[in-house]
């Protein structure tokens, strides 16, 4: 039985008891008490329903308890404590059986079928190819990938999608910047455009063109070679960085495609039919004030060029039309004000926007030795993600970016990150895994291994029991990660599990003269190994067998 099934059973039991007392049964849930003295689960139903039952919470709790019909083999003790909680303590027998359960299910332990037969589209990164990915993009890249993995863990068929724009003003500036460097290489005067790009990579792209073609593009600022080479080189660079982070996209969608097949005009037309589009001052506006916003929004500038919102709407309509069950958009805080326009447009066009989950993450504040660094791709005052990966490694980078709640600002101190990479919390988890692997190897060498009948009844030491208690929380944690689409709960949990394991390790020797006990403990730590490995793999972090 999984802990999730057990919780359902307990809640059903409580509901039945409430029904027999003629009390409402909705909104029941179990909590994990902070202290073990209150057992493994507690229920606050009596506190909430006391008024309705015209009893003190304590008396009501007693009554609910009396009417409870719950298996003694699973729940060892039910207590009522002030102010009126009903507490359930799981039997040791149940806990031991759970270890067996974990060993049987193995790599699938903690999975659910919530997403079985469903598909999800996760859009993230979506940085335009104007420069290398920065540390700032890293947070979103890792967040998006791990959220995708969480969805996959629960059975979703996930498409990771990257939306980009290789046209427009920024790209024109990029091409002109490359051209300027190219002219510089030819010994001509080099005019870097106003607001152009200054990074070293621009020079490298120019050299690339020069080495291949010499001076044949002299004075040909409009030749597509500059734009094409730049975009191609930068995109390759971006993909290679992502690949170093163990991230692979399934689809790349070009904003340009929405101009080509008339989708944009069609959106304007359909919104106009509903009186949500009007013309003013030569521009075309989206009447967002009619949809509850304070200001209207420009969709087509008076120059005739659409703002990015319009293709964004077209892109999201394209997402909708592909019939996913779930659409996840991951944006930085700078999009906070713009995505509601996209959603209200989709709604007006008749789409069910309930399937969209928009996740907004706060920015990374980069620091160097305590000093704040302002990042700008244009000015090349950034630290590239690639540099960071090279310095501290993929596992550390991935872990670092999801250690914190996405709603919080992430202070990233480069100096500290490099210095502290040796004592990064990710190693704490991996060390626990490696320790287990080593014990198993040692046990193997002396001829002890666990079998299905591994004397688990011999497990009784407090730190063993605590370890199991921690272990079986895993399915709950993974469920909550799915509900909140928040990877951080997994890292918090794995830290707690590793702590409990390290504690167990110092208190209980696994391989001893006592063969039966050794087998039992071997079974226990193998279960720990599965859970650690499962958690780490969802985070996309390696599980070393030796450190």
Span 159-218, contacts to RNA by CB under 7 A: 165, 168-170
Q: Decide whether 153 or 217 has the Cβ nearer to RNA.
A: 153
Span 287-306, contacts to RNA by CB under 7 A: 294-295, 298, 301-303, 305
Q: Decide whether 159 or 405 has the Cβ nearer to RNA.
A: 405
Span 146-165, contacts to RNA by CB under 7 A: 165
CB of 210 to RNA, least distance (A): 29
Total site size for RNA, rule CB under 7 A:
89
Choose the binding region for RNA from 26-34, 105-113, 269-277, 451-459 (rule: CB under 7 A).
Answer: 26-34
CB of 215 to RNA, least distance (A): 33
What six digits make up the tokens of 529?
């190994």
Q: What is the dihedral of CA 389, 393, 396, 398, to 10 degrees?
A: 50
Edge-to-edge order in the sheet of strand 364-368: 371-373, 364-368, 410-413
Choose the binding region for RNA from 96-104, 263-271, 351-359, 426-434 (rule: CB under 7 A).
Answer: 426-434
Cα dist from 71 to 4, 13, 96, whole Å: 16, 10, 16
Span 100-129, contacts to RNA by CB under 7 A: 128
CA 300 from centroid of its chain's CA atoms: 35
Span 497-526, contacts to RNA by CB under 7 A: 498-499, 502-503, 505-506, 508-511
CB of 179 to RNA, least distance (A): 20
CB of 504 to RNA, least distance (A): 8
Span 432-491, contacts to RNA by CB under 7 A: 434-435, 437-439, 442-443, 480, 483-484, 488-489
Q: Decide whether 20 or 44 has the Cβ nearer to RNA.
A: 44
Residue 129: name the closest of 87, 174, 96 by CA: 174
Cβ burial 128-146 (10 Å sphere, 16+ → b, else e): bbbbbbbbbbbbbbbbbbb
β-sheet bridge partners, residue 148: none
CB of 319 to RNA, least distance (A): 17
Site string for RNA, 236-255 (x = CB under 7 A): -------------------x
CA dist 113 and 152 (Å) reads 10
Among 19, 73, 83, 218, contact with RNA (rule: CB under 7 A): 83
- Type and span of the H or E element at 519: helix 515-538
Q: How many C-beta atoms lie closer than 10 Å to residue 45's C-beta?
A: 26
CA dist 249 and 243 (Å) reads 9
CA dist 400 and 456 (Å) reads 37
Span 345-384, contacts to RNA by CB under 7 A: 360, 362-363, 365
Span 302-341, contacts to RNA by CB under 7 A: 302-303, 305, 307-308, 333-338
CB of 86 to RNA, least distance (A): 8
Residue 48 interacts with RNA (CB under 7 A): yes or no: yes
Residue 42 interacts with RNA (CB under 7 A): yes or no: yes
Q: Decide whether 119 or 495 has the Cβ nearer to RNA.
A: 495
Q: Decide whether 194 or 423 has the Cβ nearer to RNA.
A: 423
Among 8, 24, 32, 116, contact with RNA (rule: CB under 7 A): 32
Q: How many C-beta atoms lie closer than 10 Å to residue 43's C-beta?
A: 24
Among 275, 423, 452, 513, contact with RNA (rule: CB under 7 A): 423
Packing angle, helices 200-213 and 169-185, rounded to 10: 60
Among 33, 155, 184, 193, contact with RNA (rule: CB under 7 A): 33
Own/partner pairs, 19-23, CB within 8 angstroms, 24+ separation? 20/67, 21/53, 21/63, 21/64, 21/67, 23/49, 23/52, 23/53
Span 393-422, contacts to RNA by CB under 7 A: 403-405, 407-411, 422
Q: Decide whether 118 or 293 has the Cβ nearer to RNA.
A: 293
Location of structure tokens 């490696």 = 434
Q: Decide whether 304 or 350 has the Cβ nearer to RNA.
A: 304
71 contact partners, CB below 8 Å, separation of at least 6: none
The DSSP letter of residue 515 is: H
């Amino acid at each position: 039985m999984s802990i999730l099934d057990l919780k359902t059973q307990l809640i059903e039991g409580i509901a039945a008891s409430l029904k027999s007392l003629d009390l409402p049964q909705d909104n029941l849930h179990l909590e994990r008490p902070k202290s073990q003295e209150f057992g493994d689960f507690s229920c606050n139903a009596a506190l909430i329903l006391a008024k309705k039952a015209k009893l003190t919470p304590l008396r009501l709790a007693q009554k609910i308890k009396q009417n409870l019909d719950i298996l003694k083999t699973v729940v060892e003790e039910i207590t009522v404590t002030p102010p009126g909680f009903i507490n359930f303590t799981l039997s040791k027998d149940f806990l031991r059986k759970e270890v067996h359960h974990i060993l049987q299910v193995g790599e699938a332990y903690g999975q659910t079928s919530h997403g079985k037969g469903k598909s999800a589209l996760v859009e993230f990164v979506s940085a335009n190819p104007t420069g290398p990915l920065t540390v700032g993009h890293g947070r979103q890249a890792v967040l998006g990938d791990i959220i995708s993995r969480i969805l996959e863990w629960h059975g979703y068929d996930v498409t990771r999608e990257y939306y980009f724009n290789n046209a427009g003003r920024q790209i024109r500036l990029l091409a002109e910047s490359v051209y300027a460097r190219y002219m510089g290489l030819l010994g001509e005067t080099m005019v870097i455009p106003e607001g152009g790009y200054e990074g070293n990579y621009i020079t490298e792209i120019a050299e690339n063109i020069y080495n291949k073609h010499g001076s044949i593009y002299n004075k040909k600022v409009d030749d597509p070679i500059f734009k094409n080479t730049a975009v191609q080189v930068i995109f390759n660079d971006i993909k290679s960085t992502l690949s170093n982070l163990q991230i692979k996209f399934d689809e790349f969608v070009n904003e340009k495609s929405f101009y080509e097949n008339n989708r944009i005009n069609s959106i304007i037309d359909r919104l106009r039919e509903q009186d949500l589009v009007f013309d003013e001052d030569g521009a075309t506006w989206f009447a967002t004030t009619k949809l509850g916003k304070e200001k209207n929004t420009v969709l087509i500038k008076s120059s005739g060029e659409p703002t990015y919102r319009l293709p964004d709407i077209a892109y999201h309509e394209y997402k909708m039309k592909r019939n996913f069950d779930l659409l996840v958009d991951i944006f930085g805080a700078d999009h906070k004000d713009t995505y509601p326009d996209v959603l209200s447009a989709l709604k007006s066009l008749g789409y069910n926007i309930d399937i969209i989950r928009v996740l907004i993450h706060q920015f990374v504040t980069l620091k160097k030795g305590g000093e704040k660094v302002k990042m700008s791709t244009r000015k090349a005052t950034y630290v590239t993600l690639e540099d960071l990966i090279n310095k501290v490694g993929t596992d550390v980078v991935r872990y670092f970016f999801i250690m914190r709640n996405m709603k919080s600002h992430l202070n990233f101190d480069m100096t500290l990150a490099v210095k502290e990479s040796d004592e990064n919390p990710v190693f704490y988890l991996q060390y626990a895994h490696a320790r287990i692997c080593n014990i198993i190897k040692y046990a193997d060498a002396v001829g002890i291994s666990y079998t299905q009948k591994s004397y688990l009844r011999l497990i009784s030491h407090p730190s063993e029991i605590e370890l199991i208690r921690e272990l079986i929380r895993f399915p709950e944690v993974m469920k909550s990660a799915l509900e909140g689409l928040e990877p951080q709960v997994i890292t918090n949990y794995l830290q707690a599990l590793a702590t409990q394991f390290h504690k167990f390790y110092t208190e209980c020797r696994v391989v001893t003269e006592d063969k039966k006990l050794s087998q039992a403990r071997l079974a226990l730590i193998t279960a720990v190994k599965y859970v650690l490995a499962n958690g780490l793999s969802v985070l996309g972090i390696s599980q070393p067998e030796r450190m």
